[in-house]
Structure 1
């Protein structure tokens, strides 16, 4: 982690005028600038634990960039704050939790022609064959598969949701690794045939079950042990509240299904249109197995979700109104989010676009942590997971050789915006 002096410089760099220590000055004469007066507006709860000075630095950023008491909207010039959801706002994954609930409650419908290839263009022949063999053809297309009792079918679904078949063969291939994660998209495809209201009901049922479960609990789906609980992080809920009180337009950009994210975001007081996720195509009142496109990629092509560069695309398109391939490009600084928070490689692009501060929840993801620890522009803040944090990474992240994932899935060095290679980084915030 950067030294206190460097972190003080980080606070100064937020606007050029914020003072964290006497070493922060407004000019060449060394005079200390006055810290912003936050006494009349909400600040982060000092009773909630953050790492190091992260809470104070976030308070200063909010005071500088926000406007106390204003109802923030980007359309009216408000600063934008973007949050990933899974393992950033909450502990564990709400997309997986909903898929598991649907499998346990016989809510997955037999695909068209009992052909699993219709559920994802990226499923490998091995995965299609494994699902077909496990789930059979006895149930008519559109009928509910008995996954509560058919443990082989349930196990195969759970395995494919985790990127491989039960025999360990790859479940997906042939996709752009910077624009989609087919397993995440497939979790949304499994909702096909249900109405948006039905999916919202399933999400609420899964939410109730996972919030009621004991912290650390697992559940059995088929015969597979998987996570069985979810928790909102109090620190992040507080951060969302304080940002909104200070006039930020707060939105979610998640790689879980948009109807599911919108249910969970209700707890934070966010309107549905401020919760973005993987968008299923809806026809005749029901979800299809296909997805809404982005960046000039048409609906139903299923090759872009809010994942790495796909997150930037959806933000630029939905929030800033950019259409076509330009939605994949970084916008000018005055048309980008001021704040962003995330925890994984899926978040690295939209985090890097933030102009004010970037909060990283440390889950030992190499590409993201390379950028965060390099901290080349003094905007990155690293915090351990607030619940059951990861242990320190045993070896430095291989930033200079293989931490970056290319579009074709190949590995390489992580580069800064200027093209230089980031050196290997030690894990120091854990």
Structure 2
């Protein structure tokens, strides 16, 4: 069967996905800036072996369909991959004898772990529709979560055909004699225990996400080297990844970004990457302050049955607003090279108008609070979602979001910018840097 064209929804940092808990669109903007410094990764790409798992899944799904001897289309491939992924997930749980828990740290970021464990404890032998693995599996499973990254890293093309790199990664994932086992499982849609030299448990042992950590350095050595080469040594990301590895502070990601932004380089490519980090740092500092102001308003209104005047807001937010203008946080952001990634984005015009109005009205904190709420309402209207705060002349009425301050007000930073994901990939691959 030759190459063919696929068109289906893959994961991207979608606005709709984060709007419920993102009243000021800051999470949305942070994702855009995260793509400046790490263009080939998303907030979901955190485990190296998922790249291999998906490549092998595409390979084995196509092999199964080709064996049927008739034309196949995108729906056939996707349906086949879903069955394969269910078998793979069950194999991992079988390898652990079911001694896994959803948040036990083992096989972390295993997508569908809860469903696979539930099927194991129910002794479910089907991997067909009876196995409720993941809702929206094609979006939330391995294929949907990693496809965008795999395209950028040139492991698959836009039509989901494996490139030469993808083919090598697929073949290094597991010995070829497991093909018969997996093909039989796909055909029968059952939890096939053994076929030829391959068994369900050993397949799980050879394909689990933690395999490199659980075994010695000879465990799938070729695959691990290829992952380091294809994922972390990729020219689009390698400089940024190297900076992260050498400057990472696990408890203070903002300090990591700050340290990288202070680096001095003469190479133009490296200088440009550092400019990206400078933009991230400027945005994050401003976002933290405005988010605190937002939290102050909500928290204070709760003591007044949801009503608070602009004058009261100006008083309780004075110190934070003073800080914004004394430290020139707005000017710091709008003068950065990659501020345009925000200003030209989906919500960018509203944000740009908001901070420009803040500069114009910096001597009237009541007006700035008014502009903040107006900006929020513009965001929510564009989302076709109810606002958290409504304006009534010189008063604000808070109708939603009362739990929001508890979750975000005291955070040292709001966004991780995929730094911990990169460190996870480095640990998985044993990457040593440039």
TM-score (norm 2): 0.25
Compare relative contact order (CA 8 Å, sep 6+) and give the higher one, 1 or 2.
2
TM-score (norm 1): 0.25
Bigger helix fraction? 2
